[in-house]
Amino acid sequence: MKYLIILGDGMADWPCEVLDNQTPLAYADIPPHMDRIARTGRSGMLKTVKDGFEPGSDIANLSVLGYDPALYYTGRGGALEAVSMGVDLAPDDIAYRCNLVTVTDGMMHDFSAGHISSAEGAALLTSLDAALPDVSLFSGVSYRHLLVVPDGGAGGAETTPPA
C-alpha cells in the first residue's frame, strides 16, 4: 500500500485586506486536482503535537515524519537551518534560527521584516556579524538566518516564540 500525505502547514494563514479580507487559501483558485483528492481520498484529524510541547509546525512536522520530538527536537530550526544552509557545526556549537523582524514602538510588528529581500537581509547580517565577534552569523533567505555560538557559549539561552 502506498500513501501520500499532504501536509498544508500554514496554508490557512490570516485574512488579508488585499485579498478581500480572505485567507490566501480561501482566495485561491483551487485546481480541480485538489478537489478530486479531497473527494476520493481519506481525510481526518490527527494530533501531531504531544502534550507538554509548544504547538508549532516544527514539532508537528517532526511527529508526522515519524520522529519523536522528545528524542529529536533540539529547538526551532537552529540545527535544521544549519544543515539546509550547508553550515557544519562542531559538537559543542549551538545554532539558533534568527529572523529579521520589524519592531515599532518596542513591539514586534512583523515577523519577517516586511519579507525583506535576500540581498537586503545579507547586507544587514554582514553588518551585524562584524559587530558580534564571538559568534558567527550566516545569511539565509529573505528574513531567515542562522547564528552559531561556538563551544556552547555560556550554557545556551532560553528562547520564547513571540505570542
For residue 151 the three cell numbers come to 563551544
Q: State residue 134's pLDDT score.
A: 87
Give tens-digit pLDDT for 25-72.
Answer: 888 887 788 888 888 888 777 788 889 888 888 888 888 888 998 988
For 96-112, the pLDDT digits (tens) are 888 899 999 988 988 88
Mean pLDDT of 83-103: 89
Q: Which domains does the chain have, with CATH numbers?
A: 75-152 (3.30.70)
pLDDT at 20: 93
Q: What CA–CA distance (Å, rounded) separates 66 from 39?
A: 26
pLDDT band at 142 (very low <50, low <70, confident <90, very high): very high
C-alpha cell at 61: 512536522
Residues near 7 by beta carbon (within 8 Å), at least 6 away in sequence? 61, 64
